[in-house]
Structure 1
Amino acid sequence: MAIQTLGYVRRLAVLWVLFGGIVALSAPVQAAESIRVLMASEVHRLDVRAESVVWLTDGQSRSQSYNTVVHIELRGAALLVNGTRVAGEQLTLRAGEHDLKLWLPRVSSGSHGAALQPGDERGALHVSGMVHIVRRGKGLLVINQVDLEEYVKGVVPAEVNSTWHREMLKVQAVAARTYALYQHMLSASRDYDVASSIQDQVYRGRQGVDARVQEAVESTRGLVVTHDGAPIYAAFSSTAAGITEDAMVVWSKDLPYLKGVECPFDVESPYYQWKASFRVATLERNLRQQGFSVGTIATMTPVGFSRAGRVSKLRILHSKGELILRGEELRKAIGYTVVPSTQFTIESMGQDIVLAGYGAGHAVGLCQWGAKELAELGYSFSSILRYYYPGTELQNVALTKMPPMPTS
């Protein structure tokens, strides 16, 4: 009851910021950009097909059509298509107006992946646009080059539930579009713009795209969040459970629009409060694998906290000395799903370490569960975005300029 009462009081203190948040927006324009999405790396084989013909272009710009499944394999130094060696180290596949269906092997430790089952539609990943296969090192990169708006349609249902309030779906659509455009503008020297995982934002092609998702994306088509006329680094995470975090604390990025704001709106999140337990031996092993020189751990104590109350530094005493670890480095070592956030206390420590905490994710920028409640309270997508990204405005893609290069 105390938490609910506090949350109600904090809501009253914060909600006034959102009043008057609806702004007049010019009609959205068609976003002409395409996004290069890394679907998988270190792949040694995959299958591709379509409802119609699959066109494949090799590294010497020679094209060939296939009416059946296209089996691509990297065997030693040879890149093979249906058992025949092809020239170059890159392939491009397309199917005109039809989607491409990809069967990617599930890669496990010490293997090149489980057997492919191209006849099983449940295992197929449906994507629009083109697919580039690029040899890098000892494996292949699988990259989906897709229209920006189609990409956003694939991100929204992968990041939030499509049954959520329509204004929240619009919030997620604009944030996803902005993040992708920001990365696209700064990635000219890379093979891809974004990864399809939590490394950037989750994207599963056509999976989960329904009428509500379509409407949210189309009704915000071309709109991005900008600061000083440039797309922002539109960070978002699940549940802040308090003040959102400064990007400076988490990533050492001093961005004026990624400063902490009050977020008493996400108490209904299933991740609002949690407990976690992991073996000390697991922490020791994982830290060593990540390059830390760690002996037998004796104690682990939080020694630094952010303004929002999250653990910024931990002091670990071990048989080889002392290690100062950032809160996010602990999450990385143990697993982001095991330790959902850095807002925790250490309840006990023996062979196991037990944490009690709040929230999920890095808590920088948009809080998805907070935005969900604000949408249900009647706030527009534009006012919600401006609240979580202070000092920003919505702008059409065509009117944006290059964002500044990151300084760290």
Structure 2
Amino acid sequence: MFSKFMVLFSVLFFWGSCFAGLKPSQYRHISLSKPKIKVRIGDKLKKVTISGTDLKRTLHVNNNHKKFPGRKRIRFNCKSFTRKNKGKISKPILLASVSSQTGLISLDRTKYQGRLHVVTSPSEESCDVIQEVDMDSYISGLLSKEMNGAWPVEALKAQAVAARTYAFYKQTTQQVSRKLGHQAYYDLESSEKHQVAGDFFATTLNTDMATTDTAGYVLVTKGKGNLTETFFHAKCGGKTLKPSSVWSNRVEGYSGVSCPFCDSHGKKNWKESISRARMVKFLKWAKRKGHIKFRDSLLKNKIRLAKDKFKANNLRIYLGSKVLVLKKPLLRRYFGRFSVSSNNYKMVSKGNDFRVYGKGLGHGVGMCQLGALDLADRGWDFKKILAHYFPGHKLVKLY
């Protein structure tokens, strides 16, 4: 399709993370001894620099293969390529793949395991970088980012199973990008949106042990044995929530559970002030999104709030005689996690303004990580921890 060289590069000496569940027939193919995962670790990059020892590079457009003995650095000018082919790129294109005989390779100055792929980005004049790596190498590096590599091994094991289940679900369903759909070259991205991946140096003895001891284990629903998304968060503040309470979509196998275990860990409580003007903007946003209906003229009335409590799932707001019922997570979705740290809160009126008093940190669905830490300190093993936070699921070994 393209007559010119796909990418400009130079070689230099180098010295220096209701949705239906997946039925068993849809995921049982994951029986390989070392399944792999593709993770987007860089996006919208104008230039890409990959380095390592004894590199092997493939330019896919013309099937050009080349080996570089010794320590080398390879540069890709994504901006130049995409600019030259502007209007010709309608979907992600795999430009190049680079690997090392050592099994280690660097993107800029960060060292990773596996292979790196350079792919055109949906954003014009840039590229994405995808790491292709063994699933369990990915999990071991992830544990230090999503939890803490120094935590008790049983807590890390529980996290490893949850993260592995989430990764396999994303990989099998290809639910990674609404914009790209099945054309996305990666299975999930390294971000808080999915899961934060670690580099080679993120692994510890504990994360390696937790990954090895749980190799192949995932959570599936009891009864049907379906593979679903497994969620986790930092601190629930006393109770966990169902996905439908937070995101309006039902995920099979979930129920909210009591969790007093995280109370003595992390930040105790949080609070936020919301002015009347900010509340008006929030209500208008909720109306635009279709969550509530009201006439804008009603905003001239005093905004009144029904008595709220922590265990309530909804806010009841009055505009004159009009009653608005809003799910509590909408407040966090609009104001953001830095203002509304969790979905476990109560709101009170202060004159024309409002105060939000909350507990916990994160969306509150699935496993409470600080709760898992406390339970591991009490002597619970990972199976018992997972059974508490995912009572509608069971463990199975895929490989």
Pairwise TM-score range, normalised by the shorter structure? 0.7 to 0.9
Partner of 2:159: 172
**2:119 is equivalent to residue 134 of structure 1:** yes
Structure 1 position 77 matched with structure 2 position 71: no
Tell me if structure 2 keeps the 8 A contact 1:272–1:360.
no
Does 1:275 find its partner at 2:275? Answer: no
What TM-score, normalized to structure 1? Answer: 0.72
Measure the CA separation in 2 of the matches of 1:332 and 1:369. 23
Aligned counterpart, 1:160: 147
Distance 1:166 1:322 in 2: 49
Q: C-alpha deviations, 1:351-395, integer Å up to 9, x for none?
A: 975421111111111111111111111111011111111132211
How big is the shift at 1:276?
Answer: 2.9
| Match in the other structure for 2:62 | 60
Distance 2:330 2:139 in 1: 30
The 1:222–1:329 alpha-carbon spacing in structure 2 relative to 1, beyond 3 Å, is: same
The aligned residue for residue 403 of structure 1 is: none
Mapping of 1:8-407 within 5 angstroms?
31-65=33-67, 67-75=72-80, 77-78=82-83, 90-103=95-108, 124-135=109-120, 136-138=122-124, 139-187=126-174, 189-191=182-184, 192-227=186-221, 228-277=224-273, 292=288, 309-313=311-315, 315=317, 326-347=327-348, 354-398=355-399
Distance in 2 (CA, whole Å) between partners of 1:216 and 1:195 is 22
Between stretches 53-62 and 205-214, larger displacement belongs to 53-62
> 1:97: how far off?
3.2
Tell me if structure 2 keeps the 8 A contact 1:57–1:93: no
Question: Residues of 1 paired with 2:64 and 2:286: CA distance?
Answer: 43
Q: Secondary structure at the match of 1:170?
A: helix
Note if contact 1:257-1:391 (Cα within 8 Å) is conserved in structure 2: yes
Structure 1 counterpart of 2:96, which letter? L
C-alpha deviation, 1:236, in angstroms: 0.8
Q: Please name the residue that 1:24 is paired with.
A: none
Deviation at 1:269? Answer: 2.2
String of CA shifts for 1:287-339, please: whole Å, max 9, x gaps. Answer: 98999499999876666989x72554464969xx9986543332233221331
Deviations 1:189-222 (A, max 9, x none): 2512222111112112224211111111111111
Q: Deviations over 1:225-255 (max 9, x none)?
A: 1123333311111111122111221123333
Q: Distance in 2 between matches of 1:241 and 1:127?
A: 35
1:239–1:266 contact (8 Å) kept in structure 2: yes
* Whole-angstrom CA distance in 2 between matches of 1:300 and 1:309: 22
> For structure 2, which runs of at least 5 residues remain unmatched after alignment?
1-30, 86-92, 176-181, 290-295
Work out whether residues 249 and 312 of structure 1, in 8 Å CA contact, stay in contact via their aligned partners in 2: no
RMSD: 3.5
Q: Do the aligned partners of 2:244 and 2:251 also contact (CA within 8 Å) in 1?
A: yes
Are residues 243 and 226 of structure 1, via their aligned partners in 2, closer, same or farther at CA, if it must alter by over 3 Å?
Answer: same
Q: Distance in 2 between matches of 1:261 and 1:230?
A: 21
CA apart distance, 1:140: 2.3
1:312–1:342 Cα contact (<8 Å) kept: no
> What's the CA shift for 1:55?
1.9
Matched residues, number: 340
**SS in structure 2 of the partner of residue 46 of structure 1:** strand
CA distance in 1, matches of 2:394, 2:264: 28
Q: Secondary structure at the match of 2:73?
A: coil
**C-alpha separation in 1, matches of 2:351 and 2:96:** 53
Q: 2: distance between equivalents of 1:196 and 1:149?
A: 15
**Larger CA deviation: 344-353 vs 383-392:** 344-353
Distance 1:299 1:200 in 2: 40
Identity %: 25
What SS class does the counterpart of residue 131 from structure 2 fall into?
Answer: strand
Alpha-carbon distance in 2 for matches of 1:205, 1:291 = 43
Shift of 1:259: 0.5
Provide the rounded CA distance (Å) in 2 between the counterparts of 1:64 and 1:373.
52
TM-score scaled by length of structure 2 = 0.73
* Inter-partner Cα distance in structure 1 for 2:207 and 2:52: 24
* Residue 173 to residue 263, structure 1, CA distance change in 2 (3 Å): same
